[in-house]
């Protein structure tokens, strides 16, 4: 099947939405891990980056999918409101509600961090903590539902896999961490928090990203293996990336550039600290390079999955 | 007949039993086989491909009747040309929405704009509710749906609902020169579709998708390029669907 009904706007939404949801969930969990940021070695400044990123990325992505709506393209700009006049068991219906809720909560969560003098224990702290508790499940739900949405259709054998949602969620968390790491590496001032803490946070992010990349490798392996070991529609669909038209993009663009390379670079810097407790030190340039690679990989994954899913369909008639 | 609602009055119940028993009697009611006979009508189409000459009158009638925009198609005919000379065959496969019993397009619709009518089983789209998200276009295993460039909503064959509601047959059936397309109510054991289904070997398209189509084919050629390669015979499949390839 070569009818691309979902194009770049959807791919960008899956990428940006996933990244924003991941950044939001990671920020909130980091924030909550340090007891709401008021314990020693506060992660407050560092949770702030994710909190500010999340709504921007998700709103940008959501704006993209609105552009892809047939109703919007024919001038019925507000017909998408119909999504919120009902709720049913369609993954898109539930997803829209979850997405809308995430946007509202993430905006409120970002607002609690917005003032330059926002600090642990200020007037908004209680609200901030409550919102953070909501941000973790909502972020994971937004990251997951896109995979469920694509996976719900037997007519799309490439997508019709329960592990696709898992893949999207892990990738969302990984790109979310990379997004926080990137803006931090580019814009953060080491002086605001102590250089020690700055490096500690770098280590925390890099090591968790390394873990997520490892997990992503396992999930992508399972995705491919089960597709390859079956017969019929799924196997035919999977052959698009196993030797077919999209193989180069998948293996070089996603697996090599987006997983293996950043994973190896992270290992080089993280393992000495992880295994031998050496002080963690990573050049900013390297940090930026890792993030860019992870983000490129995240985009490539969405691109390959969305296109390959539409190129393939049931075989036979 | 266990699915009557508790709210239904005795009179309605008796009417249902009277209406349904005829259908059940002919359907050789097997235990566990759901006949959804509680739906007042169950419209279906039987396409006898032996009678199809590939004249495309149905494709044209459909475009005219439903004002299908240029470049889009609700119904079309596929030409299947196969074999190695002199053992050859050319057959035709008219295509339209299967009005499935288990429509995937309905299952994924986030707004409820597309639904299966409880009174006759026709799957319809409410163009005023549809937001054009294209989820149903992805979910249909038969490639029947498209976004209407005029309304911006999903569009597809609806068995010419506006005609059927007036007691007429769909435009494609009305125009069919060879009487290859036969339309009727499966709940009526005397209807031509019921009789044809009882007395012929029929098949549906892509049954493995689990959609339970209501469009049945007699003597349809299900050969595709893969089968032809395995059988080492020549095949050419031509379609006048909007995309010039079978999906």
pLDDT in tens, chain A (317 residues): 568 999 999 999 999 999 999 999 999 998 988 766 556 456 888 889 999 999 999 999 999 999 999 999 999 999 999 999 999 999 999 999 999 999 999 999 999 999 888 888 889 989 999 999 999 999 999 999 999 999 999 999 999 999 999 999 999 999 999 999 999 889 887 666 777 778 888 898 999 999 999 999 999 999 999 999 999 999 999 999 999 999 999 999 999 999 999 999 999 999 999 999 999 989 999 999 999 999 999 999 999 999 999 999 999 99
Among all chains, which residue has been given the structure tokens 């390859």?
Answer: A228
- Domain assignment present for residue A3? The answer is no
Domain around A260: 8-311
Instruction: Tell me the three state secondary structure of residue A35.
Output: helix
Residues B3 and B95 in one domain: no
Average pLDDT over residues B45-60: 97
Instruction: Quote the pLDDT of residue A200.
Output: 83
User: What's the whole-number mean pLDDT along residues B40-68?
Assistant: 96
**Closest approach of A98 to chain B, Cα-based (Å):** 13
Q: Is A208 contained in some domain?
A: yes
Cβ <8 Å between A74 and B107: no
What lies within 8 Å, CB to CB, of A78 at 6+ separation is none
Q: Give the CA angle between residues A206, A208, A211 to the nearest 5°.
A: 110
Model's pTM, two decimal places?
0.90
Answer for the pair B231, B221: CB distance below 8 angstroms, yes or no: no
Element (H, E) at B81: strand B76-84
Q: Rounded distance, CA B201 to CA B194, Å?
A: 13
Q: Is A257 helix (H, G, I), strand (E, B) or coil?
A: helix
| Binding-face residues of B in 220-239 toward A, CB within 8 A | 222, 224, 226-227
CATH code, domain with A296: 1.20.1630.10
Task: Tell me, yes or no, whether A262 lies in a domain.
Answer: yes
Interchain CB distance below 8 Å, A149 and B135: yes
Q: Kindly list the residues from chain A whose CB atom is less than 8 angstroms away from the CB atom of residue B208.
A: 233, 314
Question: What is the domain-level CATH number for residue B187?
Answer: 3.30.70.20
Token pair listed for A301: 């994954």
With respect to residue B125, please indicate whether it lies within any of the assigned structural domains: no
Residues of A in contact with B138 (CB under 8 A): 5-6, 153, 155-156, 310
**Pair (B166, B88) in one structural domain:** yes
- Is residue B128, in this structure, part of any structural domain at all? no
Closest CA to B205 of A164, A81, A255, A315: A315
Chain B, residues 7-66, CB within 8 A of chain A, namely none
* pLDDT tens digits along A163-186: 999 999 999 999 999 999 999 889
Residue of B nearest to A6 (CA): B134
For residue B25, being part of any structural domain is answered with yes
Average pLDDT over residues B115-135: 96
Assess whether B202 and B219 both reside in one domain. yes
A2 within domain boundaries: no
Chain B residues with CB under 8 Å of A153 CB are: 104, 108, 138-139
Number of domain units in chain B: 2
Size of interface A-B (CB pairs under 8 A): 120
Report CB contact under 8 Å: B131, A74.
Answer: no
State how far the alpha carbon of A22 is from the alpha carbons of A16, A53, B32, in Å.
10, 10, 47
Selected residue of B47, B127, B130, B131 to mutate for chain A interface (largest A Cβ count, 10 A): B131
Secondary structure element (H or E) that encloses residue A301, with its range: helix A284-311
Residue A199 in any domain: the answer is yes
* Residue B62 placed within a domain: yes
Residue A91 included in any domain: yes
pLDDT at res. B41 = 94
B223 and B205 within one domain: yes
DSSP H or E stretch at residue A300: helix A284-311
A77, A54 contact by CB (below 8 A) = no
Is B127's Cβ below 8 Å from some Cβ in A?
no
Whether residue B87 sits in one domain with residue B13: no
Contact (Cβ atoms closer than 8 angstroms) between residue A217 and residue A259: yes
Same domain, residue pair B167 and B223: yes
For position B23, what pLDDT does the model report?
45
Of B77, B106, B111, B147, which to mutate for an interface test with A (greatest number of A Cβ within 10 Å)? B111
Give the one of B110, B148, B226 whose C-beta lies nearest to A90's C-beta. B110
**Would you state the pLDDT for residue B1?**
40
Backbone φ, ψ for residue B142 (5° rounding): -110, 0
- Dmax over CA atoms of chain B, in Å, equals 66
Contacts of B149 (CB under 8 A, 6+ apart): A74, B69, B71, B72
Q: Where does the pLDDT of residue B29 fall: very low under 50, low under 70, confident under 90, or very high at 90 and above?
A: very low
pLDDT band (50, 70, 90) for residue B69: very high
d(CA A281, CA A61): 34
In the three-class reduction of DSSP (H, G, I as helix; E, B as strand; rest coil), residue B128 is classed as coil
- A111-137 as b/e: b if 16+ CB within 10 A: bbbeeeebbbeeebbeebbebbebbbe
Which structural domain, as residue segments, surrounds residue B198? 39-100+157-239
- Chain B residues in contact with A306 by the CB 8 A cut-off are none
Picking from B25-29, B132-136, B195-199, which range would have the lowest pLDDT averaged per residue?
B25-29
**What is the DSSP-derived secondary structure letter of residue B147?**
E
Nearest residue, CB atoms, B209 vs list A3, A92, A155: A155
Q: What's the pLDDT at B25?
A: 43
Instruction: Decide: helix, strand or coil at residue A242.
Output: coil
Residues of A in contact with B147 (CB under 8 A): 5, 70
Q: How far is B193 from chain A (nearest CA, A)?
A: 22
Please give, rounded to a whole number of angstroms, the shortest distance from the CA of B36 to a CA of chain A. Answer: 22
- Please indicate, yes or no, whether residues B29 and B43 belong to a single structural domain of this protein: no
CA–CA dist A292, A281 (Å, integer): 19
Give me the count of residues in chain B: 247
Mean pLDDT value of segment B113-126: 96
**Cα–Cα distance, B200 to B25 (Å, whole number):** 18
The 3-state DSSP class for residue B233 equals coil
Instruction: Return the residue in B133, B210, B229, B244 with the most chain A beta carbons within 10 A, the one to mutate for interface testing.
Output: B133
- Number of H-type helices and E-type strands within chain A: 11, 0
Report helix, strand or coil for B215.
Answer: strand
- Is residue A316 in a domain? no
* Residue A317 forms part of a structural domain: no
Q: In B, which residues are within 8 Å of A152 by CB distance?
A: 107-108, 139
B163 shares its domain with B231: yes
Question: Considering its fold, how many domains does chain A have in total?
Answer: 1
Q: Do B224 and A86 touch (CB under 8 A)?
A: no
Which residues are within 8 A (CB) of A131 and not within 5 positions of it... i.e. 6 or more apart?
Answer: A28, A105, A108, A109, A112
C-alpha distances out from residue B90 to A225, A317, B79, B93, B223, Å? 40, 16, 7, 10, 11
Q: Which two tokens stand for residue A153?
A: 């259709």
């Amino acid at each position: 099947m070569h009818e691309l009904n979902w194009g770049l706007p959807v791919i960008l939404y899956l990428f940006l939405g996933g990244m924003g949801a991941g950044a939001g969930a990671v920020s909130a969990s980091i924030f909550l891990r340090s007891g709401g940021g008021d314990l020693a070695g506060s992660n407050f400044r560092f949770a702030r980056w994710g909190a500010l990123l999340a709504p921007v990325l998700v709103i940008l992505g959501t704006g993209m999918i609105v552009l892809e709506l047939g109703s919007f393209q024919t001038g019925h700009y507000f017909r998408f409101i119909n999504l919120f006049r009902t709720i049913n068991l369609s993954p898109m219906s539930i997803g829209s509600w979850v997405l809308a809720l995430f946007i509202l909560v993430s905006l409120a969560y970002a607002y609690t961090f917005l003032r330059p003098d926002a600090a642990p224990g200020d007037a908004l702290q209680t609200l901030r903590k409550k919102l953070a508790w909501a941000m973790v499940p909502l972020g994971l739900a937004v990251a997951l539902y896109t995979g469920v949405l694509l996976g719900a259709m037997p007519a799309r054998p490439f997508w019709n896999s329960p592990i696709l949602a898992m893949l999207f969620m892990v990738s969302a968390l990984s790109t979310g961490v990379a997004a926080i790491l990137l803006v931090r590496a580019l814009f953060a001032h080491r002086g605001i928090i102590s250089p020690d803490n700055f490096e500690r946070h770098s280590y925390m992010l890099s090591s968790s990203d390394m873990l997520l990349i490892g997990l992503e490798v396992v999930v992508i392996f399972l995705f491919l293996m089960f597709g390859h070991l079956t017969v019929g529609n799924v196997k035919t669909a999977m052959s698009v990336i196993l030797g077919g038209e999209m193989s180069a993009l998948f293996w070089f663009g996603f697996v090599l550039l987006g997983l293996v390379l950043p994973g190896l670079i992270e290992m080089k810097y993280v393992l000495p600290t992880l295994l031998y407790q050496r002080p963690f030190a990573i050049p900013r340039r390297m940090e930026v390079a890792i993030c860019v690679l992870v983000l490129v990989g995240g985009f490539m994954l969405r691109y390959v999955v969305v296109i390959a899913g539409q190129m393939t369909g049931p075989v036979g008639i | 007949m266990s699915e009557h609602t508790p709210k239904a009055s005795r009179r309605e119940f008796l009417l249902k039993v009277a209406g349904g028993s005829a259908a059940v009697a002919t359907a050789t009611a097997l235990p566990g086989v759901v006949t959804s006979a509680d739906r007042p009508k169950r419209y279906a189409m039987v396409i006898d491909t032996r009678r199809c000459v590939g004249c495309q009158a149905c494709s044209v009638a459909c475009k005219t009747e439903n004002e299908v925009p240029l470049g889009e198609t609700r119904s079309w005919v596929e030409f299947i040309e196969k074999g190695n000379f002199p053992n050859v065959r050319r057959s035709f496969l008219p295509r339209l929405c299967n009005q499935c019993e288990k429509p995937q397009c309905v299952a994924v619709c986030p707004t409820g704009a597309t639904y299966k009518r409880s009174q006759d089983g026709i799957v319809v789209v409410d163009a005023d509710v549809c937001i054009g998200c294209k989820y149903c276009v992805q979910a249909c295993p038969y490639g029947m749906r498209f976004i209407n460039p005029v309304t911006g909503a999903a569009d597809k064959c609806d068995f010419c609902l506006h005609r059927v509601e007036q007691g007429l047959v769909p435009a494609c059936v009305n125009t069919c020169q060879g009487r290859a397309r036969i339309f009727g109510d499966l709940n009526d054991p005397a209807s031509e579709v019921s009789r044809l289904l009882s007395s012929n070997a029929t098949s549906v398209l892509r049954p493995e998708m689990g959609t339970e189509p209501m469009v049945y084919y007699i003597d349809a050629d299900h050969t595709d390029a893969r089968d032809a390669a395995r059988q080492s015979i020549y095949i050419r499949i031509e379609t006048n669907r909007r995309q010039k390839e079978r999906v």
